[in-house]
């Protein structure tokens, strides 16, 4: 009797404990994410601080400008990273692609809306660490309204160009069943070519040429350059036009490639 009562108590006790455990898991992720970001920006700060120990201006940039740029680039990383490749990969693996294509909405437009929603969400999650950086490392946002307008439009255009380019890359999922390696490879390329680690001005001319011949920087280095005050606002119209050119060319190319790739569809069960 007592024995069975004990057993029951421990069983229901375990069930009771499940919910706090699950709740704690989400909490833990939040705090871990915050600490991870603090570590990253601390390293960024002291790395650049040491670099500027013996120089006042590097490639025309002061210590404050560079620090502001790399910190802002860190926060606006969501502009350049979307998960289209993983999305395509999992859709194909689970055999859902065909359902999406049969729906009476434009498949690409649907994905764009979703990725835009994802961008807003991820930016919202960057807010706490953004405040910390302003407090700890004196990161500054411009007070000038024109700069903000120039930045926001350029960020939206760059994000859109990057979306179509990622669409192009995601089409590779039709040809391979293994996208993990591809995804990580693309991540490394994105981190460097978006200009998230080093201001473009510091790169040798030949390297900057390569970086600007692919669209990654359009979504990060270009808009953040405006926000950090490295690029003058008077350049904004020219920048918008270039970004528009990227959008149109990537839009055409991504649709052409998708049309060819979709015929290669291999359904791995599901």
Q: Which residues bind another protein (CB under 8 A)?
A: 14-15, 18, 21, 24-25, 28-29, 31-33, 35-36, 39-40, 42-43, 46-47, 49-55, 58-59, 176, 178, 180-185, 187-189, 191-192, 197-198, 202-204, 207
Cβ at position 27, least distance to another protein in Å: 9
Nearer to another protein, 106 or 177 (CB): 177
Nearest-approach distance from CB 228 to another protein, in angstroms: 17
- Supply the minimum distance, in Å, between the C-beta of residue 25 and another protein: 5
Tell me the β-bridge partners of 57.
62
In terms of CB distance, is 23 or 259 closer to another protein? 23
Question: Taking Cα atoms as reference points, which of 246, 264, 45 lies closest to residue 159?
Answer: 246
* 225-to-150, 219, 222 alpha-carbon distances in Å: 11, 11, 5
Q: Which is nearer to another protein, 35 or 248 (CB)?
A: 35
Q: Helices H, strands E: what count in the chain?
A: 11, 2
Minimum Å gap between C-beta 114 and another protein is 25
Closest CA to 222 of 210, 213, 231, 232: 231
> 21 vs 99, which CB is nearer to another protein?
21
Q: Which is nearer to another protein, 1 or 178 (CB)?
A: 178
Identify whether the C-beta of residue 227 lies closer than 8 Å to the C-beta of residue 142: yes
Q: Is the dihedral of CA 89, 256, 115, 236 positive or negative?
A: positive
């Amino acid at each position: 009797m007592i024995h069975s009562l004990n057993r029951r108590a421990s069983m229901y006790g375990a069930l009771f404990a499940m919910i706090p455990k699950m709740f704690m898991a989400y909490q833990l992720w939040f705090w871990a994410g915050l600490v991870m970001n603090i570590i990253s920006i601390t390293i960024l700060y002291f790395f650049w601080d040491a670099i500027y120990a013996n120089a006042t201006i590097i490639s025309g940039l002061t210590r404050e400008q560079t620090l502001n740029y790399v910190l802002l680039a860190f926060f606006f990383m969501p502009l350049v990273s979307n998960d289209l490749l993983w999305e395509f990969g999992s859709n194909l693996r689970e055999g859902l692609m065909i359902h999406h294509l049969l729906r009476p909405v434009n498949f690409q437009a649907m994905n764009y809306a979703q990725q835009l929603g994802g961008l807003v969400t991820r930016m919202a999650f960057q807010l706490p660490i953004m405040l910390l950086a302003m407090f700890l490392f004196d990161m500054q946002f411009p007070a000038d309204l024109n700069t903000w307008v120039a930045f926001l439009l350029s960020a939206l255009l760059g994000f859109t160009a990057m979306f179509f380019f990622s669409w192009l890359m995601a089409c590779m999922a039709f040809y391979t069943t293994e996208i993990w390696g591809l995804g990580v490879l693309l991540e490394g390329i994105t981190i460097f070519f978006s200009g998230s680690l080093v201001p473009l001005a510091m790169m040798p001319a030949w390297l900057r040429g390569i970086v600007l011949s692919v669209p990654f920087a359009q979504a990060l280095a270009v808009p953040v350059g405006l926000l950090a005050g490295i690029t003058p606002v008077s350049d904004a119209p020219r920048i918008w036009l270039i970004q528009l050119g990227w959008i149109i060319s990537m839009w055409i190319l991504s649709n052409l490639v998708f049309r060819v790739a979709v015929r290669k569809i291999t359904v791995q069960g599901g």
